[in-house]
């Protein structure tokens, strides 16, 4: 569950939900972007490699 204050900044808990939310914004003329913030990393080396890419 997304806490109420975070719902202003988090589009969804799944990629599908986030994409649907941003598509709805776009349909209303609001530009939106999606960022994967890194919580999916379980180990440091892959995160460092992506940061250096």
pLDDT at 13: 81
Distance (Å, whole) CA 17 – CA 34: 11
Question: Residue 7: its pLDDT value, please?
Answer: 64
What pLDDT is attached to residue 46? 92
Q: Where are the domains of the chain?
A: 6-52
Token pair, residue 5, equals 């204050």
Each of the 53 residues of the chain gets a pLDDT tens digit; together they read 666 766 666 778 888 988 998 899 899 999 888 887 777 889 999 989 988 88
Question: Can you give the pTM of this predicted structure?
Answer: 0.57
pLDDT at 1: 64
Q: For position 6, what pLDDT does the model report?
A: 62
Residues 34 and 11: their CA atoms lie apart, in Å, by 8
């Amino acid at each position: 569950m997304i806490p109420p204050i975070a719902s202003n900044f988090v589009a969804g808990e799944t990629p599908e939900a986030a994409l649907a939310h941003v598509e709805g914004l776009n349909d209303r003329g609001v530009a939106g972007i999606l960022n994967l913030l890194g919580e999916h990393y379980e180990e440091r080396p892959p995160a460092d490699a992506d940061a250096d890419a």
